[in-house]
Amino acid sequence: MPINQRNAGFISATYQPLQVANAPTIGAATGGDASASVAFTAPANVGGSAILAYYAVSDPGRVTVSGASSPITVTGLTNGTAYTFSVWALNTYGPSPFSSFSNSVSPSAPTAFWSGGNVSSGFTNVISFQNISTLGNASDFGDLLEEKQYRYPCSSSTRGIWAGGNTPDINTISFITLASTGNAASFGQLSALAYNGAGLSNSTRGIFAGGTNFLTVIGYITIASAGNSLSFGSCTSVQGNRAGFASSTRGVWAGGSGPINIIEYITINSLGNSTDFGDLTVNMVQTAGASNSTRGLIGGSFSGTVYNVISYVTIASTGNAISFGDLNTVGYGNSAASSSTRALFGGGLNSSAGFVRNNAVEYVTISTTGNAADFGDLTIATYHLSACSNAHGGL
């Protein structure tokens, strides 16, 4: 019998079925690394006494975790397995009925996906991937539809998107299913031939901002539904070569051709023009951005002088960037991807070694300022590559 059709199994001497709470109302479940966050709403009728705790239960496995309020994080799950969840409440008189089932989620390890770029033989269409939680080298995933550099990346927890690119300039959008290695498939088209801008996303919407030939245009797609990009609004200035990152509600991009120190933001689910956020610590171009849900990082740059600086902003609070630390490699044209705890910076041109293409990947702990440390290597030395992840700050 399904778990939400049985009593919770918690019977005591004080059990009084007319005094227990009503069932909680289930909300959305969100997958993590061997875990899931289960949201719910407390019942209006708590019964004859205050609720002591809530319990989230997985199906399959009946993994049960308690919590005082929503959401409850259920750990000990198996990556790649599809789960739904029910929640019940406990007061002094016993257990409530189960809530209905949540949506289905499949936990997965936080993974960075690197693609395209400029290599010694020209351009590449190689896609590789790397577990963000475990130091080590990247592995081959598949191929993009075209060999290109300067692409706009974005992603949800299940799908990775790359748009545009040059040379010659294109407006195609392609995607991969992150859980299954293989080649990219066609998604749709940008509104113009475009490259060199910033891509960012939350769990449902991908944003493509600025870029060469894209002028000040901001476009968007619904990540789960293939199709052409639609008009979102405009940037405050014409820019390419910028960093982009997001929380679940706000998209931010920084720096750009000039170079400049401008930071702008949008509310991802509300169409409109970008708004001034603050300033970077230095003028930056050909830089990379990554984030968790609260903090965005910008690392590496060319500004007449090549910089290895990393700076950060608090995404929910407008203001100027603050110094975070330094990358090991003094370079630019790199890319970045992140989980909720860690940001990876990979590829680029290594100026300290004579502007050679770089295959190094470095990492920082997003919540702790400091210099980057070695993580591993990409499958190929490249710059002007693009990266996304299944666990970035917008999810």
- pLDDT score at 238: 63
Residue 162 structure tokens: 């790359």
- pLDDT score at 194: 85
Encode the chain (395 residues) as per-residue pLDDT tens digits.
344 444 445 556 678 888 999 999 999 998 888 999 999 999 999 999 999 999 999 999 999 999 999 999 999 999 989 999 999 999 999 999 999 999 999 899 999 999 999 999 999 999 999 999 999 999 999 999 999 999 999 999 999 999 999 988 999 999 999 989 999 999 999 988 888 889 999 999 999 998 776 578 899 999 999 999 999 999 987 677 889 999 999 999 998 887 889 999 999 999 999 999 999 998 888 899 999 999 999 998 776 667 789 999 999 999 999 999 999 886 789 999 999 999 999 999 887 767 789 999 999 999 999 999 999 999 999 999 999 999 999 98
- pLDDT score at 241: 82
CB 39 within 8 A of CB 28: yes
- Sign for the CA dihedral angle at 220, 223, 225, 226 comes to positive
Residue 200 structure tokens: 């960012």
The phi and psi torsions of 246 (rounded to 5 degrees) equal -155, 155
C-alpha dist (Å) from residue 70 to 22, 43, 82, 83: 16, 12, 21, 18
- pLDDT score at 354: 72
- pLDDT score at 94: 94
- pLDDT score at 378: 97
The phi and psi torsions of 351 (rounded to 5 degrees) equal -70, -30
- pLDDT score at 331: 74
- pLDDT score at 332: 83
Domains annotated on the chain, with CATH: 3-95 (2.60.40.10), 111-389 (2.120.10.80)
- pLDDT score at 2: 40
What's the CA gap between 174 and 161, in Å, rounded?
6
- pLDDT score at 175: 98
- pLDDT score at 3: 44
**Close Cβ partners of 234 (under 8 Å, ≥ 6 residues apart):** 216, 217, 218, 273, 274
Bridge partners of residue 379, in order along the sequence: none
This prediction has a pTM of 0.86
Bridge partners of residue 289, in order along the sequence: 298
